[in-house]
Amino acid sequence: MAKLDYYAVLAVSRTASDSELKAAYRKLAMQYHPDRNPGDAAAEEKFKECSEAYQVLSDPDKRAAYDRYGHAGVSGAGAAGNPFANAQDLGDIFGDIFGEMFAGGSGRGGRASRAQRGRDLRYDQTIDFAEAVFGKEIEVSVKRMELCESCDGVGTRSNKGPAVCKQCGGRGQVRFQQGFFSVARTCTVCNGTGQVITDPCPTCHGDGRTEKTHTVRVSIPAGVEEGTRIRYQGGGDAGRFGGPSGDLYIVLTVKPHPFFERDGNDLHCVIPISFTQAALGDEITIPTLEADTKLKVPEGTQSGKEFRLRGKGVPYLNEHGRGDLIAEVAVQTPRKLTREQREWLRQLGDSMVTENAPTSRSLLTKLKEMLS
């Protein structure tokens, strides 16, 4: 079967530079690598073709011979024997291409870094409605991993630190043959660090950290809402082997208020008033989150009328100013009346013009228009 032109395999021109060749090869190798296409024979064949093409064209001498004589000029490097006999290890060729796939997440560097960042922690805190509005300072107790005092975070009994991993010789990788090429994998003994602890600290058992309860003073700013997260940098678990600490996130849950409802920075409430207060008007006292205040109800106020009290709402978070308090009046219909009260109301009703009587032609017309 005739071989494809190496330049056509990599989809590059015959004048392609080394960087263009490498970029084309990287793209094809990523696409057709067997680890990404398990059991796909066609993909594996494509992978072999592009690898062979790159092995020849990336070598100046072999490329010159191929340009002059074609496949016959490099038959010893490709058609016969191992096409990668003179190539560098694929683990090195692919180190900058696949990273974790061939180098355990360390790319060209080989061994993974031993230092590990500490885990972020979450603490759920429930606060009262007023505490969310006006803010407060509280203390919370958080369990977190801190550096072991017995070994100063080293993890070993002797405080001399870990030993070189014998499995990988400190490289963090082990190599094995897969068909006609060599592949690098993360060492399972040291997890890619290249080091192992042979004499673990009896207190932390080699972890370098122990769990302790830490008290954190939390400053809750005025105006926080349900689900607000307060971040304390470095307040999480301590890092391992010199790594930085994680962060602590305080997540707030706000208890509902029995009277007020919050809408952004505005507060809403419903104030019951009597029929006579609505009809004749009155000055009533209504509560706020700080102190009672006076509200003037005009004569002829209808049920559902809203009154806005400026600056009586929730403070803006980390800003100046506050939202408003919106009070909605609800006219209450008396349920129990004396005989004398009934008579008064009956006389009042007879003396008043009922504008919304069900038999009113204008009301029926409006209802039809709304339903049409």
Give 73-121 pLDDT, tens digit per residue: 777 544 333 444 333 434 444 544 444 444 344 443 444 456 788 999 9
Least confident of 290-294, 333-337, 362-366: 362-366
What are the C-alpha distances in Å from 167 to residues 134, 174, 189? 60, 8, 7
Higher-scoring residue by pLDDT: 354, 131: 131
Return the amino acid letter for 124: D
Check residue 85 and give its pLDDT: 37
Token readout for 352 is 């008043």
What does the CA dihedral 271, 127, 323, 307 come to, rounded to 10 degrees? 0
**Confidence bin at 70 (pLDDT 50/70/90):** confident
Pick from 309, 355, 350, 341: which is nearest to 328 by CA? Answer: 309
Q: What would the CATH number be for the domain defined by 121-150+208-254?
A: 2.60.260.20
Query: What does the pLDDT look like over 188-197, one tens digit per residue?
Result: 888 787 888 8
User: Which residue spans of the chain are classified as CATH 2.60.260.20?
Assistant: 121-150+208-254, 261-371
- E strands of the chain, at which residues? 121-127, 136-147, 163-164, 173-178, 181-186, 195-196, 209-220, 229-232, 248-254, 261-263, 266-274, 282-286, 293-297, 306-309, 325-332
* Average pLDDT for 287-293: 90
Least confident of 128-142, 211-225, 233-247: 233-247
* Average pLDDT for 339-363: 71
High-pLDDT (> 90) share of the chain, %: 38
Q: What would the CATH number be for the domain defined by 261-371?
A: 2.60.260.20
**Confidence bin at 265 (pLDDT 50/70/90):** very high
Q: What would the CATH number be for the domain defined by 6-87?
A: 1.10.287.110
User: Which residue spans of the chain are classified as CATH 1.10.287.110?
Assistant: 6-87
